[in-house]
Amino acid sequence: MARRKSKGIWRLLRAIGIALGIVVAIPLVLTPVYLFVDPVSVPMLERYLTGRPVDRQWREINSISDRLKAGVILSEDGQFCRHWGVDVSALRDEVERYLAGEDARGASTITMQVARNLFLWNGQSVVRKALEVPLAVYIDLVLPKRRIMEIYLNIAEWGPEGQFGVAAGAERAFGITPDRLSWRQASLLVTALPNPLLRQPGRPSAGMERIAGIIVQRVGEYGERAACVGSGGRLAL
């Protein structure tokens, strides 16, 4: 009886080990593939599987406004061109706040957001955040900054009806392609990223207009921090 029980436990542990191995192997294998293949995000897959619409037309990074790229970096992750996928200083502060029982401010870099959208799940979770960190470091090691940004801009959710990627977001909000964005349009699209289900850049609130103005000002002052995603290391602002 004891031997049978021991075999049962061993089989369970073996099954768990295999499952964990598969989970780990998926990003290890797919990340290098994404150097050449345009990925689909987990939220997009969820919508496909539940029969909900998905609107996404992939755009190469050179076909996206430099104003938008710089605005995203200066708003979402000012150290994007400098860190290795994780902003260690911001993450350390976040851990200290968590241990002190304070509300989280969020320390997700753009690369961590890419890791979450490609391989993990949404929702606040310490486990998910812990998984994001090594995944982001691995993604940054394998993919160049311009490819990471290209993937981010093409998988980010940009509207309440299944609009994914900046092409769908720009079309829904302004009826234009993402290479023709004005300063105002680009910055308003950036303001929608924290909550694209509620924030409508085509019909911005006064608060969105105010934040958009701040983003334009930041890009004017610190735009060189986003140079790594420009063609030849330069942005045409």
Q: Say whether both 10 and 100 belong to one domain.
A: no
Q: Say whether both 104 and 4 belong to one domain.
A: no
Q: Say whether both 10 and 64 belong to one domain.
A: no
Q: Say whether both 10 and 67 belong to one domain.
A: no
For residue 220, the surrounding DSSP H or E stretch is helix 206-222
Q: What is the pLDDT of residues 103-133, one digit of tens each?
A: 555 568 999 999 999 999 887 777 888 889 9
Q: Are 190 and 196 in contact (CB under 8 A)?
A: no
Six-digit token string for 176: 């234009």
pLDDT for 158 equals 94
Q: Could you list the beta-strand ranges (E) of the chain.
A: none
pLDDT for 19 equals 54
Averaged over successive runs of 10 residues, the pLDDT of the chain (237 residues) comes to 60 62 79 96 95 95 95 94 88 61 68 94 80 94 97 96 96 96 96 92 95 94 92 82
Q: Are 65 and 178 in contact (CB under 8 A)?
A: yes
Q: Say whether both 155 and 53 belong to one domain.
A: yes
- The torsion angles phi and psi of 83, rounded to 5 degrees, stand at -85, 175
Q: Say whether both 132 and 18 belong to one domain.
A: no
The domain that holds 134 is classified in CATH as 1.10.3810.10
Q: Say whether both 109 and 53 belong to one domain.
A: yes
Residue found under tokens 């940054």: 140
Range(s) of the domain holding residue 17: 1-33
Q: Say whether both 222 and 176 belong to one domain.
A: yes
- ∠ CA 135-140-143 to the nearest 5 degrees? 115
Domain count, the chain: 2
